[in-house]
Amino acid sequence: MIKIQNLRKSFNGVPALNIEDLEINPGECIGIVGNNGAGKTTFFKSVLDLIKPDTGFVSVENVHVNISADWQNHLNAFIDESFLIEFLKPKEYLTFILKMKNSQFDVEELLSSYADFSNKDIDENKKYIRDLSTGTKVRIGVLSLLAGDPKYMIMDEPFAHLDPTSQAKLRKLIRAQKEEGRCVIVSSHNLQNIAESCDRVILIEAGIVKYDVEVNEESMRKLGEYFDN
């Protein structure tokens, strides 16, 4: 379980995050939605111990993220391109991640297992990551999440730079992780992507969890109305 309690963060006196109590369980697919500046990325970075909260804590499998790094055995994340090593080639980078995670699989097995999502442009690409399109970088980042055997996977706006075909493949990949018992936490501005890939949706506005509901036709209709107003 990921547990967040009394988590607060301000920047220059302006509140950015204020979450009293939130629990995320293995096997859930959770969509995080909210307008720009709502606190979604601050939330993710707090979970990953990339920023220090003013108060409260985040624990992953009962390990406080600011006390021990053991939680990293359970959670993989891709927030943006800064998570990649851009002077490596795609297969070199994925090989590095697999070794770092002590995975029993090699890069060929990883790419063949997710051949539909990786495509030959990753499998056969000889360019450095820095020279690839943003969409290809995102797909490499998503593939890196599958290294090891994580219980939790975090993706921040992965759909934003993907073409429609790759978005459909990513939705399918997310649903497949749930079937394997993994928890995927993904943010998106596109409610349709959330509706088609997640079973729970959390709306964050001004750093506060305003809604935390099961994904169904009624809840997605209400969310659509919320953003229309």
In the predicted model, is pLDDT for residue 40 greater than 90? yes
What is the pLDDT, as a whole number, of residue 3? 97
150/159 Cα distance (integer angstroms): 21
22/30 Cα distance (integer angstroms): 12
What is the pLDDT, as a whole number, of residue 101? 87
pTM for this predicted structure:
0.92
In the predicted model, is pLDDT for residue 8 greater than 80? yes
Measured CA distances, 170 to 63, 118, 152, 215 (Å): 30, 10, 16, 18
What is the pLDDT, as a whole number, of residue 16? 93
23/177 Cα distance (integer angstroms): 19
Mean pLDDT, residues 200-229 taken together: 93
Amino acid residing at 104 = Q
Mean pLDDT, residues 203-215 taken together: 95
In the predicted model, is pLDDT for residue 178 greater than 80? yes
Please report, for the chain, the start and end positions of each structural domain, with discontinuous segments joined by +. 1-72+187-229
| Higher-scoring residue by pLDDT: 102, 11 | 11
Mean pLDDT of the chain: 92
Burial 113-123 (b: 16+ CB within 10 A, else e): ebeebbbeebe
Mean pLDDT, residues 189-215 taken together: 94
Name the percent of the chain lying above pLDDT 70: 99
What is the pLDDT, as a whole number, of residue 121? 75
In the predicted model, is pLDDT for residue 148 greater than 90? no
In the predicted model, is pLDDT for residue 20 greater than 90? yes
27/183 Cα distance (integer angstroms): 4
Chain segment 82-104, per-residue pLDDT in tens = 899 999 999 999 999 999 888 87
Name the CA dihedral angle for 53, 57, 62, 66, rounded to a multiple of 10 degrees.
30
In terms of Cα–Cα distance, which of 10, 87, 98 is closest to 46?
A: 10
What is the pLDDT, as a whole number, of residue 105? 78
104/127 Cα distance (integer angstroms): 26
Confidence of residue 183 (pLDDT cuts 50, 70, 90): very high
- 1-72+187-229: CATH number: 3.40.50.300
